[in-house]
Each structure stands twice: as C-alpha cells, then as structure tokens.
Amino acid sequence: MKTLLFQTLSKKNRLLILGVGLVLLLVYLIPIWSISIAAPQYPEGLGMQIWINKITGATPYDLKNINLLNHYIGMQEIVSESIPELLFMPYVLGYLIFGAFITELYPKVGMAILGIINLVIVGLVGLSDFWRWEYNYGHNLNPEAPIIVEGMAYQPPLLGCKVMLNITACSYPSYGGMILGLSLVVLVYILWDENRRKKINAA
C-alpha cells in the first residue's frame, strides 16, 4: 500500500481529477439539496432548496409560504442566517477544489486517497448535521402555536418522503449533491484503476 500511495497517477487519471475540481466549481452555482412539500392548501406544492451558502424557495414565494405553515404548527422560521454551517461550507468546498488542482502539481495516488477521505468526511458530517438541524426544527416547537397536536413532531425526512398530518415532505439531493456524489465515485474509480495498473506493472 505504501508503494501505491506514492505511485504517479496516469495522465488519464490526472485529467479526471482536474475535471473533478472544475466540475465542483458548479456546486457554488446550484443547490445541493431539495425539499418539497405537498399540502391541501398548496395543491401546486412548495419547494425549498439548500445551497452551499443559503436556503431559498423553489419559487420566490415558496420559502415565505413554508414559514407560514411552520408558524401554525410552532416550528421556527427558516432563514439562512440561523444555520451557521452555511457560513463556512463555501470554504470547505474551496478546500476540496484546491486539493484537486494541487494534485495536478503533485500527481500521486495518495492525493486521490486524501480526496476520497475528505469527501466521505464532508458527506457524513454534512448529512449528520442536516439531520440534527431537521430534528431541532421538527421537535423544538412553540408551545403557544395556533395548532398543537399532543406528542406530534414535524421532523422532515433526511432522504425520501414522510407524511406529517396532512403534509407530505420529500427530501432528495439536488444537482450539487449529485455532483459531490459523482466526484467520490470518480475518485474511487481512479484508486481502483491505479491499483490495477500497479498489479499489471508488477506482473
């Protein structure tokens, strides 16, 4: 394994990692997660998008209407400023992109492995933090809310759909999240390819 760590990446794999860095730049411009809400009073549905540094509605009025629904059941208002993680996530993404570009200057397999480790850590921490945020919003309710259902919590699903009273909430990765996942797949492929190349050269 030590030999593989310092093995020089093939030209093809160097270009793949450079491509990963360039594609990750798009994550600054598109949402990484999407939550949709279906309710009888909003037959066309409502949507909320989570970006690397902010939360917006799928349309200009969706977030306002979601917060209106939340008010009636005692949930806190959803605003970007209430989520401190959105302040430093752009820098975390910048670190990942920087690592991809540095690999072009130091094209070793160990850099690809470091990229895999970083993406896995960012993904796990991000998902756990997202779950914690959903838990707090769904459980820490205003006791003086207009609508109170004893023992009811309104935590949205981390992934998939969930019915809460007459509201159905669905949560899925958006294009930015898919890019992050695809980047991990590409790096794992590069590691597999370099290990295969090492075995062929040793034979």
Q: Which residues pair with 170 in a beta bridge?
A: 36, 161
Q: What does pTM read for this prediction? A: 0.88
Q: Which residue has the tokens 């933090």?
A: 129
User: Could you tell me the CA-to-CA distances from 94 to 15, 66, 69, 90, 179 in Å, in that order?
Assistant: 19, 31, 35, 6, 15
For helices 175-202 and 109-139, angle between their N-to-C axes, nearest 10 degrees: 150
pLDDT on residue 9: 93
CA distances from residue 88 to 1, 53, 85, 189 in whole angstroms, order as listed: 34, 8, 6, 29
Predicted confidence at residue 135, as pLDDT, reads 87
Q: Identify residue 109 by its one-letter amino acid code.
A: V
pLDDT of residue 25: 97
Which regions in the chain score pLDDT beneath 50?
A: none
Q: Do the Cβ atoms of 17 and 9 come closer than 8 Å? A: yes
* pLDDT on residue 154: 79
Distance in angstroms (rounded) separating the CA atoms of residues 180 and 131:
18
pLDDT of residue 2: 55
